[in-house]
Amino acid sequence: MTTTDIKNSIIPYIGETVPYINIPENIIFNGHTIETEISGQDFSNENLTHLLKILASLGSCSLYKLLNNSSKEKIYFLGEKLRIRKLSYRPIPDTITITGGSYLESKRKGKSCLNVKDKQSGEILYSFELDYYIISQDSFRLFYKDFFNDTPIGTYDEKLPEGKINKTKDHYQLTISIMPFTLNQCKGHFENYPIVPFVFIANCVLREIFNFLGNRDIYEIDSLEGYASKAMPIGTEFQVEVFQQKFLRNLIYFKCEIKDTSGNSYAVIIINIKSETQK
């Protein structure tokens, strides 16, 4: 199965559609494993979420193929837990490969495990895991009926909402305000039931954290973990409560809880960022 096959026989039958879903042009399925490569992309700082989006898209396609569904009804894959770890501190090469696959834990839960490698050396650069809930179309419509929106979405807005850092008197705590997401920004992420993608909120959080850190040192994401507890609606201002601490000389820990202005919690992101003093 190639990328063209995936576009014709998988993507129309999963909840995520273009432009949100993002897969490379050279995918090959070999049994239950997937192989592809990417060139010329920047995944530094908050741009790491561009890689997460690709990996999550590949995981959804891989799980659908594993289910071998013949009903032609849409199946929805909602992320529960995500983890990415950097395993090499060499500069990321221009061309990387992605290998791995998905497996089923039950009819309602699945997992995607992928490795990002240096194409030339084969060295693993990142390990990635994503746990999914697998939801049928009827169940999804029932669970998320309050999200239904039949407003036609014309253009896709790639610019994510603005954010603001709010410092507190406590050196270890700060908050980040993130302006509401729009329909156009979430186009393709569960069409007619728009839900803010986790990778988008992670991008906004990382963007503000790197703004907070400034450019005195060189910073690199060592690991990122995300735990979603509730679907994030559009049109909602989010407040991110951030606790930060330097556990090691060159490793900074951030725990970020995403809430709305009423205090309802939606997700937690845990980030470890490695620092290196500029010469």
For 39-70, write each residue's pLDDT tens digit.
999 999 999 999 999 999 999 999 998 887 77
Q: Tokens in use for 112?
A: 């995607």
What HEC string does 161-185 produce?
A: CCEEEEECCCCCEEEEEECCCCCCC
Task: Summarize the confidence of residues 241-251 as an average pLDDT.
Answer: 90
Indicate whether 125 and 151 sit together in one domain.
no
CATH number at residue 42: 3.10.129.10
Domain boundary among 118, 138, 158: 138
What HEC string does the chain produce?
A: CEHHHHHHHCHHHECECCCCCCCCCCCEEECCEEEEEEECCCCCHHHHHHHHHHHHHHHHHHHHHHHCCCCCCCEEEEEEEEEEEECCCCCCCCEEEEEEEEEECCCCEEEEEEEEEECCCCCEEEEEEEEEEEEEHHHHHHHCHHHCCCCCCCCCCCCCCCEEEEECCCCCEEEEEECCCCCCCCCCECCCCCECCHHHHHHHHHHHHHHHHCCCEEEEEEEEEEEECCCCECCCCEEEEEEEEEEECCEEEEEEEEEECCCCEEEEEEEEEEEEECC
CA distance 81 to 66: 20
159, pLDDT greater than 60: yes
**Average pLDDT over all residues of the chain:** 92
Indicate whether 130 and 167 sit together in one domain.
no
Range with the lowest mean pLDDT among 96-100, 158-162, 203-207, 216-220?
Answer: 216-220
- So what's the pLDDT on residue 29? 84
141, pLDDT greater than 90: yes
The residues, ordered by sequence, that sit 6+ positions from 183 with a Cβ below 8 Å of its Cβ are 149, 151, 153, 194, 234
Indicate whether 124 and 206 sit together in one domain.
no
Q: Residue 90 — pLDDT band, cuts 50, 70, 90?
A: confident
Indicate whether 1 and 133 sit together in one domain.
yes
Q: Tokens in use for 102?
A: 């998905």
Task: Summarize the confidence of residues 242-271 as an average pLDDT.
Answer: 94
Q: Which amino acid is at 132?
A: Y
CA distance 146 to 175: 28
Residue 164 belongs to what domain range? 146-279
Indicate whether 133 and 201 sit together in one domain.
no
The residues, ordered by sequence, that sit 6+ positions from 64 with a Cβ below 8 Å of its Cβ are 10, 13, 14, 75, 77
144, pLDDT greater than 80: yes
The percentage of residues in the chain with a pLDDT greater than 70, rounded to a whole number, is: 99
- So what's the pLDDT on residue 87? 96
168, pLDDT greater than 90: no
Indicate whether 2 and 133 sit together in one domain.
yes
Q: Tokens in use for 245?
A: 């601490």
Phi and psi dihedrals of 57, rounded to 5? -65, -45
Indicate whether 205 and 82 sit together in one domain.
no
Q: Residue 2 — pLDDT band, cuts 50, 70, 90?
A: confident
Indicate whether 172 and 130 sit together in one domain.
no
Indicate whether 116 and 80 sit together in one domain.
yes
170, pLDDT greater than 90: no
Domain boundary among 138, 158, 180: 138
Indicate whether 13 and 127 sit together in one domain.
yes
- So what's the pLDDT on residue 6? 86
Total number of domains constituting the chain: 2
Q: What is the pTM of this model?
A: 0.94
- So what's the pLDDT on residue 235? 96
- So what's the pLDDT on residue 98? 97
- So what's the pLDDT on residue 138? 94
Q: Residue 31 — pLDDT band, cuts 50, 70, 90?
A: confident
Q: Residue 279 — pLDDT band, cuts 50, 70, 90?
A: low
- So what's the pLDDT on residue 89? 82
Domain boundary among 81, 112, 138: 138
Q: Are the CB atoms for 59 and 116 separated by under 8 Å?
A: no
Indicate whether 122 and 210 sit together in one domain.
no
Indicate whether 132 and 221 sit together in one domain.
no
Distances (CA, A) of 182 to 78, 194, 200, 231: 20, 9, 12, 15
CA distance 122 to 105: 29
